[in-house]
Chain A
Amino acid sequence: MLSVLRHYGSVAACYLRLTFQQQLEYPLFLVSWMLMIPIQYFAGIYLLKVIIDHFRHLNGWTYPDLVFIFGLGLLSHGLMVVFFINSWMIGRMVIDGTFDRLLLRPMNVFFQLIASYFNFIGLIDLIPGIIIFLYACSLVGFEWTLPNILKLVLILAGAVLIRAALFVMIGSIAFWTKKNAAVHNFALVILERTTMYPLNLYPYLIQALFTFVIPIGFISFYPASAFLDRDRFVLPFDLAILTPVIGLVFYGLSQLIFNWGLRKYESAGT
């Protein structure tokens, strides 16, 4: 058992070294991303400020609250992009045949998929996320007490799992259809609009959908509501604690679907 773990650990370390070298081979290529992504996020909160300057609040959410949810949503997005980016690549790997390579090796396929790409470039998303979240914390007067910090860590872990699970499920579609790029973009847009803006801007039907069917309300909306004590529109207990639980369950479900897809999978080649 221990030797298996050690083996997996050494493979992960090897992957880590490789991806680090690979991603920094052409550092200048990142210039456009390094400009585009921060512009997008900082402009995002600036536009919220412009709106609030005229309208005071959005369904009870003031500017500090809005930045808090935006920052919290962006943090888990950044972490997901750093650690689980290859869940976005399943479709492409199935099409160009590189996925089949993972099947030939005597090692867990999902582990290979995720461990083989530790995405340093994702820091371009994560760092603006940290800046915006810290800015929001000072705006709303977030108290950095031990319970709050623990809660935050648990929430972020759960939120990353929910996001990763969603993309693993979408990626698994490619095992059947060979193609999932369009669905992937659809999910990205939905996630952006539901985790970085308050979910209660939208009608009850949509809120229910993203609470009970696809639990992305737990990525940032319910935790932020709990932190900000805006729980007049949510259930009477601390929903923030549910995020890690739902994250684990949803993640487990995504593993079942992934493995089911693997059994059905026939290579794209002839």
Chain B
Amino acid sequence: MNLAPYYYLTKMRILTNLAYRFDVLVSIGTNLVLMVTAVFLWEAAFSSVPEKNGMGVRDMVAYSIVSTLLGTVFVCGVQDTIYHKVREGQIATDFYKPVPLLAVYFADDLGAVAGDFMIKAIPLLISGAIFFGLPLPESPLGFLLFLPSCVFSYLILWFLSAIVGLLAFWVMELGNMGLVKDAIVRVLSGSFVPVWFFPETLQWISKFLPFQYTYQTPLGIYIGVIGTAQALREMGIQLIWAAALFLVLALFWRKTKKKTLIQGG
């Protein structure tokens, strides 16, 4: 398999992102506001109750900071890319490319991930550390488990985005359904309020949905609320979700491609 075209796409994305310096600066500022306000909210919450569900204020501060970092790094441009290309018809020329289309979008997003890690996440981490202290992981082992867990999280999020993106081929007139998906992910992923705080029925339902395995799992491992044994179990669930969504995506993509060809006459 020749990876050169994907490498080129990834590199180009990194370079384009670097080109808009002012936008990068303001984007860091925006994410910093999100981070800082979340931290202050949790500090206010923990000022009267020192510990909850085995978490103290330091844990939730670290949770919020790392959650913001993940939010800047987990770039899933694919859903908007497909949506706009289908609407404007550019998708037709993309089909001419001699490489699988979804792999092209994936390489493009990976470039954005790498670029945003360097130019957004690291400055954000430094500012977070200056304001609130470095959010250290609970243990070295926790950190080692956190990294692959993040990779699985990203795969789940990306496959979800690609599936929702493909909806544009079928129900174009309903607008960008990715917006709806994003709103649901924000709540149920635990990126702001961990699902552990939800009422028990909701927690139970959430266990059977992919969302909490995108943010809460790696973050819980990072702050040590999820121990080693449970971490491995949840990472297993992450892998199952990633594999299942990949399968759905592959099947859906095949069906969608056929439909596009018919539409194109």
Please state if B40 and A201 are interface contacts (CB–CB under 8 Å). Answer: yes
Q: Which 8 A-B pairs have the closest CB atoms?
A: A32-B175, A182-B26, A55-B45, A193-B37, A36-B179, A43-B187, A58-B44, A31-B174
- When C-beta atoms are compared, the residue in chain B nearest to A44 turns out to be B187
Q: Does B33 contact A (CB under 8 A)?
A: yes
Most chain B C-beta atoms within 10 Å of own C-beta, residue among A29, A33, A182: A182
A56 within 8 A of B: yes
The verdict on A182 contacting B22 (CB below 8 Å), with A51-B45, A193-B34, A201-B37 known, is yes
- Residue of A whose beta carbon sits closest to that of B47: A59
Question: When the two chains form the complex, which single residue of B26, B33, B48, B186 contacts A193, counting CB atoms closer than 8 Å?
Answer: B33
B206: interface (CB < 8 Å): no
Q: Assess whether B177 is interfacial by the CB under 8 Å rule.
A: yes
Interface residue? A149 (CB, 8 A): no
- How near does chain B come to A120, taking the closest CB pair, in angstroms? 16
A55 touches which one: B26, B27, B52 (CB < 8 A)? B52
CB distance from A152 to the nearest CB of B (A): 27
Interface size class on chain A is 35 or more
A to B CB contacts below 8 Å, 17 in the list = A29-B173, A31-B174, A32-B180, A39-B187, A50-B193, A50-B197, A54-B52, A54-B197, A58-B44, A59-B44, A59-B47, A182-B23, A182-B25, A182-B27, A186-B30, A186-B33, A201-B40
Residues of B within 8 A of A46 (CB): 187
Interface presence of B236 (CB below 8 A)? no
Known: A36-B180, A55-B52. 18 other contacts (CB 8 A): A32-B174, A32-B176, A35-B183, A39-B183, A43-B186, A47-B192, A50-B193, A51-B197, A54-B52, A57-B48, A59-B47, A181-B23, A185-B26, A185-B27, A189-B33, A193-B37, A197-B37, A201-B41
Asked if A212 is an interface residue, CB under 8 A from chain B, the answer is no
When distances are taken between beta carbons in the complex, the residues of chain A under 8 Å from B176 are 32
Q: Is the CB of B187 within 8 A of A47?
A: yes
Nearest-neighbour CB distance to chain A for B219, whole angstroms, equals 16
Q: Which residue of A lies closest to B188 (CB)?
A: A43
> Which residues of B lie under 8 Å from residue A236 when comparing CB positions?
none
A20 at interface by CB-CB < 8 Å: no
Chain B hits for A150, CB < 8 A: none
Instruction: Please measure, in the bound complex, the distance between the C-alpha atom of A58 and the C-alpha atom of B49, giving whole angstroms.
Output: 10
Bound-state CA distance A29–B168 (Å) is: 12
In the bound complex, residues from chain A placing their C-beta under 8 Å from that of B180 are 32, 35-36, 39
Is A202 in the interface zone, CB < 8 Å from B?
A: yes
What sequence of 0s and 1s flags, for each residue 36-76 of chain B, a beta carbon within 8 Å of any chain A beta carbon? Answer: 11001100111111001100000000000000000000000
